[in-house]
A and B are shown apart, each in its own frame.
Chain A
Amino acid sequence: MKNIFYKILIFFLFTQVFVSCTKEENFGPSIFDTYDSLDINAASYKFDIWLKDNYLKVYNLDFRYRMQDVGSDLDYNLVPVSYVKAQQMAELVKYLWFDVYATIINPEFLKQNGPKIIHLIGSPAYDPISQTIVLGTAEGGIKVTLYRCNDLDPTNVAMLNEYYFKTMHHEFAHILHQKRNYPVEFKELSKGKYNPEGWQTLNDSEAASLGFVSTYAASAIQEDFVEIISNYLVKSDEDWNKILLLASKAGIDGSGKTLPDDGVDGKALILRKLELASYWLKNSWEIDIVKMRAEIIKREANIQSVLN
């Protein structure tokens, strides 16, 4: 009797399996756009095609000039970049960053090591509490965000250098050291002198006398490392020598008082940092920083022709 019961039970369960699995779901076409979605009638078509040809096809890079708040830092109040400034910035980023690497190293270098997303933001990222602004960020070697793009003035090279090109090279240097560590010795050079919370209270003289190429370099070791590289790359001989001159003197604080001798030779320290950074670029990435700097400075003199 018991046997009959189990046979019937097995029969029913077996039947259930086939009854439950007889129908298959029919999937329709993908809900995502898998085709080229650029609209020839769009106001931005010409620029979008240019970006596609110069960034997406060449570097597999998404050059985002349309503000995406979910892709930005929601802690800040930000505004988009203007359409005109976005076009100028796209040209300049290519000319002064991507083309430089393609010329000095090879066209493959940034395909392999460059960011995959560049996001332009119109305003700076203000932090009203610390009274500081963020000019750029690099995230995980993938994405570079450039802020303050609405203030772009192509006629003011000093400003372009300070707010944009230095930022580009700064952020890219972050990407590079996130992939290959910078020299251990570098970490020892200014140990104990970094001030993540109060760097903005320093002036240029105080920072230089401590062996920092900028005030922001005094905020953390990795910032110090990339500031050395980016400042050296974009600054003219005259401006670079001004920093070294400042570093060779005793620091002067905000009230005009000369700081007591702290035993740090600012100039020697900056030059040693540059030496270590140059060595690391050469050995880890086959980048000749001197050649690259010469190429950048040569191109800076030619910005207007690129934008016209």
Chain B
Amino acid sequence: MKKIFNIILVFTILLFSNCTKEEADIFAESAADRVSNAMKSSSDTLQSATNGWVMEYFPTPQSAGYNLFVKFNKSGQAIISGKNYLTNNVFISDSCLYEIIGDNGPVLTFNTYNKVLHAFSNPINPDGYGLEGDYEFVVIKYTKNKIFLKGKKRGTDIILNKIPSTLDWQQYNTSLEVMDSVLFGKNSAKQSLIIEGQKYWFFNGNSHIYSILKDGEDANTTIEAPFIITQSGIRFYSVQTIENKSFQSLQLNAYNSALESTEDPNIKLTGQDNLADYFLKSTNYWVFNPSKLSPKVKSIYDLIVTSCKTKFYSASPNLAVKDVQLMLKYNSKENSFALVLSVKRRSTAIEGEVYLSSLLSGSNLKFTFTGNGDVGGMSFYDSIGKKPDNTIAGFKEMVIFLNSEFVINTDAIFNPQNIKFTQKLDTDSWFSVSYQ
């Protein structure tokens, strides 16, 4: 009897325990409703930017970053603008259609062709694979002013930053170009970073993919770190960790001498320690900038240009002079700096150079004319009475002017693009040269 009672008891418990309670819903809404709401909310956020977004676009995690400008209209049309080598360095805009589709959560797809965006995905560029950029992005998270996306195919992290309503896109882009020019320009000078007493070299910044190598280490230990230009400096695609210190965003300091981490001000990517020393070790051409010459130097410079045009025109009227350039360049054969005069005609250039020995004097630089040069340079310098007489008026005066000590400085020691030479004994006499 007791046994029966026990069995009845068990069944009674089962009866009351079954189906009395339902599992509480973890989410207030169904999965379909949540996806639908997320899509609506993503769409509203994208369209909320009346002046659009700047898209920090990396085709792949290994590629340099590009700034694109995007506006999402309520009609389902997106306007995208940008300026980069794929647009032939012209700021262009194009429209396309976009949608937020439900596909592993809300996905932003630009599903008709846009010349600015899809150029990064087009397999035609350059070899059948293309740059492999995404044009469909999972919306990961967003705030009022920032949207985090992830490329659907490549998994690349893309950030959209809301653009203030008063800021013109092209002006915004120009400010980025100015930053790029100050930081890198044409010059590929290396920068350095000292962390925990260890020095690291940062190369090839002008490619927007830094090659990072620890001082003294083998080149095959170099790592590559893509980044994008921002209004205040650069942002690496991913967090960089060196000697257990992490950083991702760097901003240019007030002296244009270093990029400082916004995460840790002690992390500084610095430019050149000694400008004169840097200049002496550079191997490229430094071209005189005709718009940045003191009156005295300008008069000599103009004399040279006029003389070149006259002399070479009278020698060959069919080959009118198109351009005259004065340049400073290290001549490794002669182990000496040289003042180079280049005269460009229709399809040819005539060059001559004279040699200047150089001496570092603290932070100053002293040039001394060696009395030598190549055949062309010496004939430009003085060939009076010789045949042919190729003496260029003003060239000798320029050599004499350079035969002096100069104080040198630059507007951005981080990566010098322009260097100003001021004569130590006569500070009213100066000239500027630009990296070429």
Given contact pairs A41-B75, A83-B113, a sample of 14 additional A-B residue pairs in the complex whose CB atoms are under 8 Å apart: A8-B8, A12-B12, A16-B18, A20-B18, A20-B19, A65-B112, A76-B123, A77-B130, A82-B96, A82-B113, A83-B95, A122-B122, A123-B123, A150-B113
The segment from B103-111, B382-390, B406-414 that touches chain A is B103-111
Q: Is the CB of A77 within 8 A of B15?
A: no
Q: Is the CB of A12 within 8 A of B15?
A: yes
Contacts A20-B19, A77-B123, A123-B122 given: A83-B97 contact, CB under 8 Å?
A: yes
Residue pairs across A and B with Cβ atoms less than 8 A apart, 29 shown, are A8-B7, A9-B7, A12-B11, A12-B12, A12-B15, A16-B14, A31-B33, A41-B74, A43-B76, A43-B77, A44-B97, A66-B109, A66-B112, A67-B111, A68-B111, A69-B136, A79-B118, A79-B135, A80-B110, A80-B118, A80-B135, A83-B97, A86-B112, A122-B118, A124-B123, A124-B124, A126-B129, A127-B128, A128-B129
Tell whether A19 is near chain B: CB-to-CB under 8 Å.
yes
Tell whether A35 is near chain B: CB-to-CB under 8 Å.
no
Q: Lowest 4 A-B CB distances belong to which pairs? A: A128-B128, A126-B128, A82-B113, A43-B77
Shortest CB–CB separation between residue A96 and chain B, in angstroms?
22
Contacts A82-B112, A128-B129, A150-B113 given: A5-B74 contact, CB under 8 Å?
A: no
Per-position 1/0 for A41-58, Cβ under 8 A of B = 111100000000000000
Tell whether A70 is near chain B: CB-to-CB under 8 Å.
yes
Q: Is the CB of B99 within 8 A of A66?
A: yes
Q: Is the CB of B122 within 8 A of A79?
A: yes
Shortest CB–CB separation between residue B68 and chain A, in angstroms?
15
Per-position 1/0 for B1-25, Cβ under 8 A of A = 1001001100110110011000000
Shortest CB–CB separation between residue A163 and chain B, in angstroms?
14
Q: Is the CB of B11 within 8 A of A78?
A: no
Q: Is the CB of B113 within 8 A of A79?
A: yes
Give the distance in Å from the alpha carbon of A31 to the alpha carbon of B34 in the complex.
Answer: 11
Number of interface residues of A (CB under 8 A): 40
Chain B residues whose C-beta falls within 8 Å of the C-beta of A5 in the assembled complex = 4, 7
Give the distance in Å from the alpha carbon of A252 to the alpha carbon of B132 in the complex.
Answer: 39
Chain A residues whose C-beta falls within 8 Å of the C-beta of B73 in the assembled complex = 43
Give the distance in Å from the alpha carbon of A20 to the alpha carbon of B97 in the complex.
Answer: 51
Tell whether A306 is near chain B: CB-to-CB under 8 Å.
no
Give the distance in Å from the alpha carbon of A42 to the alpha carbon of B99 in the complex.
Answer: 11
Chain A residues whose C-beta falls within 8 Å of the C-beta of B130 in the assembled complex = 77
Shortest CB–CB separation between residue B150 and chain A, in angstroms?
15
Shortest CB–CB separation between residue B54 and chain A, in angstroms?
22
Tell whether B152 is near chain A: CB-to-CB under 8 Å.
yes
Chain A residues whose C-beta falls within 8 Å of the C-beta of B75 in the assembled complex = 41-43
Give the distance in Å from the alpha carbon of A186 to the alpha carbon of B29 in the complex.
Answer: 61
Shortest CB–CB separation between residue A279 and chain B, in angstroms?
40
Q: Is the CB of B15 within 8 A of A15?
A: yes
Number of interface residues of B (CB under 8 A): 44
Give the distance in Å from the alpha carbon of A69 to the alpha carbon of B151 in the complex.
Answer: 13
Q: Is the CB of B112 within 8 A of A83?
A: yes
Shortest CB–CB separation between residue B98 and chain A, in angstroms?
10
Tell whether B28 is near chain A: CB-to-CB under 8 Å.
no
Chain B residues whose C-beta falls within 8 Å of the C-beta of A78 in the assembled complex = 121, 123
Give the distance in Å from the alpha carbon of A39 to the alpha carbon of B76 in the complex.
Answer: 10
Give the distance in Å from the alpha carbon of A20 to the alpha carbon of B111 in the complex.
Answer: 49
Shortest CB–CB separation between residue B27 and chain A, in angstroms?
15
Q: Is the CB of B123 within 8 A of A126?
A: yes
Tell whether A184 is near chain B: CB-to-CB under 8 Å.
no
Contacts A42-B75, A81-B112 given: A66-B136 contact, CB under 8 Å?
A: no
Tell whether B32 is near chain A: CB-to-CB under 8 Å.
yes
Chain B residues whose C-beta falls within 8 Å of the C-beta of A86 in the assembled complex = 112
Tell whether A301 is near chain B: CB-to-CB under 8 Å.
no
Chain A residues whose C-beta falls within 8 Å of the C-beta of B109 in the assembled complex = 66-67
Q: Is the CB of B113 within 8 A of A4?
A: no
What is the chain A residue whose CB lies nearest that of B3? A5
Per-position 1/0 for A162-197, Cβ under 8 A of B = 000000000000000000000000000000000000
Give the distance in Å from the alpha carbon of A20 to the alpha carbon of B18 in the complex.
Answer: 8
Chain B residues whose C-beta falls within 8 Å of the C-beta of A82 in the assembled complex = 96, 112-114
Partner of B103, one of A67, A70, A131: A70
Tell whether B426 is near chain A: CB-to-CB under 8 Å.
no
Give the distance in Å from the alpha carbon of A67 to the alpha carbon of B111 in the complex.
Answer: 5
Give the distance in Å from the alpha carbon of A41 to the alpha carbon of B73 in the complex.
Answer: 11
Per-position 1/0 for B127-151, Cβ under 8 A of A = 1111010011000000000000000
Give the distance in Å from the alpha carbon of A41 to the alpha carbon of B30 in the complex.
Answer: 29
Q: List A15-35 residues whose CB lies under 8 Å from chain B.
A: 15-16, 19-20, 31
Give the distance in Å from the alpha carbon of A122 to the alpha carbon of B122 in the complex.
Answer: 9
Chain B residues whose C-beta falls within 8 Å of the C-beta of A12 in the assembled complex = 11-12, 14-15
What is the chain A residue whose CB lies nearest that of B136? A69
Shortest CB–CB separation between residue B81 and chain A, in angstroms?
16
Give the distance in Å from the alpha carbon of A44 to the alpha carbon of B76 in the complex.
Answer: 8
Shortest CB–CB separation between residue B3 and chain A, in angstroms?
9
Q: List B56-81 residues whose CB lies under 8 Å from chain A.
A: 73-77
Q: Is the CB of B76 within 8 A of A4?
A: no
Chain B residues whose C-beta falls within 8 Å of the C-beta of A19 in the assembled complex = 15, 18-19
Chain A residues whose C-beta falls within 8 Å of the C-beta of B77 in the assembled complex = 43
Give the distance in Å from the alpha carbon of A12 to the alpha carbon of B7 in the complex.
Answer: 11
Contacts A43-B73, A124-B123 given: A66-B111 contact, CB under 8 Å?
A: yes
Give the distance in Å from the alpha carbon of A150 to the alpha carbon of B153 in the complex.
Answer: 22
Give the distance in Å from the alpha carbon of A37 to the alpha carbon of B95 in the complex.
Answer: 23
Give the distance in Å from the alpha carbon of A20 to the alpha carbon of B32 in the complex.
Answer: 27
